[in-house]
């Protein structure tokens, strides 16, 4: 046999290996093939090909493994149990850029499924190798490494701390400054995933100088980048007053407000979330947002959006209003109550309605003037309906009840309260009746209106426990009227009169 024939056998074997890994990599892109590949023992067949002498076979084998692991946690666990991760980590330091990208993809695909699988990636020493990849010249290698680090960090504070301890943060901040958009996006996303867990982790991001570089990209034209930038700034701001102030000091206002009108829904939502996270901390930060025109901008944003997208805007109004009477009045003056009333009517999802109810309660709880502004928007019957709805979530019921109580305890605008006399259950009714008992003794016009509107008649129909607060309030109201008026509107009085007519003997005048 000639040497040519011998070499031909090797070439054929190489072609077969190449065809095999390429076919598996292609098949692994479609979910319907995964179970068949798994049952055929694909993992054990791919593993030796990671050490193949032909670089393209190594890379394609890694790509196929990544695609398989990406599909479900069972296949990701098979990668861990097959001792494939140490091989990949070793190769990250040794191989070319194409292999590094494929290896980082496998690590990311394994880490994404659960904290336990992400911990397996950490335990095999992958973080140090991935951090070294952040210093590579090729931006696509950096991107693949940053992405894998983000998938490890996102699960919990311990894993995020491991990424920080590996020295990733300063390099991620450098990646944010690179010209390539894809790299900027992934680096900003990973920074966000680290910062979200705790104030300490967010502080490490701030200490690396990330805020200034993120703030510079607020008005970038790339939607996907802006999503990640606003997400990262939100995750930094949410933990403490100091961190929120550092974000504000980067002079993000009023530029961020223009992004509330961005065509991309995720950008808008993340901007609203950022403003909410800043405003929630202190009256001073809320006032800064108000002064920049933030409340009016958020109200317009709520009007233009639906469902989960508008949720952070709804909550932001509640946080601002909760701080003080003046800030609550700023929300009222900007027509915030009307927009929240529309939202409460339009939304069908319980969690959005619950947030809206909470915000309305925060606006109305300060003074009679605040409560009147909320009640005048006709939200009290809607809040009551949310509270009494049989299929309402516990959170919606609780928040609706608390909002009603907050507003009712300050509301002296009786026309807004009267519809509740007819529909409210006893635990809400006592707050309604309490307000009438406070106002009627001092307002002659209101006393007359209360009779003609049927309010006094309704009060007589309420069955209150003797000695209860409700009974005391009813007595206080009845004491505002002559006995014969109270008696006239009491249940059964008309029958009593008819009975007296029946038994009345006319006096003969003849």
The secondary structure element, H or E, covering residue 292 is: none
- List, for residues 230-255, the tens digit of each pLDDT value: 999 999 999 999 999 999 999 898 88
- Confidence (pLDDT) at 89: 84
Distances (CA, A) of 234 to 148, 224, 248, 276, 447: 22, 16, 11, 9, 52
User: What's the CA angle centered on 204, arms 243 and 186, to 5 degrees?
Assistant: 95
As a whole-number percent, the residues of the chain with pLDDT over 90 amount to 46
Mean pLDDT of the chain: 88
Asked whether residue 510 carries a pLDDT value surpassing 60, the answer given is no
Give the relative orientation of helices 325-333 and 368-375 as an angle to the nearest 10 degrees.
Answer: 30
What would the mean pLDDT of 105-133 be, rounded to a whole number? 91
| Cβ atoms of residues 439 and 414 within 8 Å | yes
Residue appearing with tokens 């129909």: 461
Distances (CA, A) of 206 to 173, 199, 242, 257, 340: 10, 10, 11, 23, 35
| Cβ atoms of residues 307 and 295 within 8 Å | no
- Which SS3 state, helix, strand or coil, does residue 61 take? helix
Other CB atoms within a 10 A radius of the CB of residue 344 amount to: 24
- Confidence (pLDDT) at 80: 84
Residue appearing with tokens 């009714």: 429
Asked whether residue 475 carries a pLDDT value surpassing 80, the answer given is yes
- Confidence (pLDDT) at 51: 81
| Cβ atoms of residues 366 and 346 within 8 Å | no
Exposure string for 142-159, b = 16+ CB within 10 A, e = fewer: bbbbbbbbbbbbbbeeeb
**479 band by pLDDT with thresholds 50, 70 and 90:** confident
- Confidence (pLDDT) at 288: 93
Cite the DSSP H helix spans in 28-72.
Answer: 34-39, 42-46, 55-71
- Confidence (pLDDT) at 215: 92
| Cβ atoms of residues 194 and 149 within 8 Å | no
- List, for residues 345-365, the tens digit of each pLDDT value: 888 889 999 999 999 999 998
Nearest to 440 by CA among 463, 426, 421, 461: 421
- Which SS3 state, helix, strand or coil, does residue 450 take? helix
What would the mean pLDDT of 330-336 be, rounded to a whole number? 92
- List, for residues 23-33, the tens digit of each pLDDT value: 988 988 888 88
Prediction pTM value: 0.86
Concatenating the DSSP letter of every residue in 335-391 gives THHHHHHHHHHH--SHHHHHHHHHHHHHHHTS-HHHHHHHHTTT-HHHHHHHHH-TT
CA dist., res. 355 & res. 436, Å (int)? 29
Nearest to 411 by CA among 473, 378, 369: 369
Asked whether residue 2 carries a pLDDT value surpassing 80, the answer given is no
| Cβ atoms of residues 99 and 60 within 8 Å | no
- Confidence (pLDDT) at 492: 65
As a whole-number percent, the residues of the chain with pLDDT over 70 amount to 96
């Amino acid at each position: 046999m000639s040497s040519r024939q011998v070499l031909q056998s090797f070439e054929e074997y190489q072609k077969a290996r190449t065809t095999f890994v390429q076919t598996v990599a292609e098949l692994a892109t479609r979910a319907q093939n995964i179970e068949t590949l798994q049952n055929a023992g694909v993992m054990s067949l791919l593993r030796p090909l990671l050490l193949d002498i032909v670089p393209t076979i190594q890379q394609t084998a890694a790509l196929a493994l990544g695609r398989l692991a990406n599909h479900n946690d069972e296949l990701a666990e098979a990668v861990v149990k097959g001792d494939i991760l140490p091989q990949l980590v070793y190769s990250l330091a040794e191989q070319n850029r194409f292999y590094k990208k494929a290896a980082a993809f496998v690590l990311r695909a394994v880490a994404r499924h659960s904290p336990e699988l992400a911990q397996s990636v950490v335990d095999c020493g992958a973080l140090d190798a991935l951090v070294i990849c952040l210093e590579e010249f090729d931006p696509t290698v950096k991107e693949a490494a940053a992405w894998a680090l983000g998938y490890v960090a996102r699960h919990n504070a311990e894993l995020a701390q491991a990424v920080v301890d590996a020295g990733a943060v300063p390099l991620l901040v450098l990646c944010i400054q690179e010209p390539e958009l894809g790299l900027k996006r992934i680096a900003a996303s990973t920074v966000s995933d680290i910062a979200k867990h705790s104030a300490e982790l967010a502080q490490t991001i701030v200490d690396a100088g990330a805020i200034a570089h993120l703030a510079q990209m607020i008005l970038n034209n790339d939607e996907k980048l802006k999503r990640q930038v606003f997400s990262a700034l939100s995750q930094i701001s949410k933990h403490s007053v100091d961190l929120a102030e550092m974000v504000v000091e980067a002079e993000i206002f009023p530029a961020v407000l223009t992004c509330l009108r961005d065509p991309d829904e995720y950008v808008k939502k993340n901007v609203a979330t950022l403003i909410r996270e800043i405003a929630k901390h202190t009256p001073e930060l809320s006032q800064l947002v108000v002064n920049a025109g933030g409340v009016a901008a958020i109200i317009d944003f709520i009007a233009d959006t639906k469902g989960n997208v508008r949720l952070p805007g709804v909550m932001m109004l509640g946080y601002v209003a909760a701080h003080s009477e003046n800030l609550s009045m700023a929300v009222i003056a900007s027509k915030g109550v009307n927009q929240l009333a529309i939202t409460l009517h339009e939304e069908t999802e319980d969690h959005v309605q619950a947030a809206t109810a909470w915000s309305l309660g925060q606006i109305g709880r300060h003074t009679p003037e605040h409560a009147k502004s909320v009640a005048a928007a006709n939200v009290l019957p809607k809040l009551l309906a949310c509270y009494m709805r049989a299929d309402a979530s516990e959170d919606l019921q609780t928040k609706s009840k608390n909002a009603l109580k907050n507003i009712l305890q300050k509301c002296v605008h009786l026309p807004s309260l009267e519809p509740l006399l007819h529909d409210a259950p006893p635990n809400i009714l006592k707050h309604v009746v309490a307000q009438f008992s406070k106002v009627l003794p001092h307002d002659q016009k209101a006393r007359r209106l209360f009779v003609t509107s049927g309010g006094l008649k309704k009060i007589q129909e309420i069955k209150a426990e003797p000695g209860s607060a409700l009974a005391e309030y009813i007595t206080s109201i009845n004491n505002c009227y002559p006995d014969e008026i109270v008696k006239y509107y009491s249940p059964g009085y008309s029958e009593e009169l008819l009975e007296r007519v029946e038994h009345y003997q006319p006096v003969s005048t003849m």
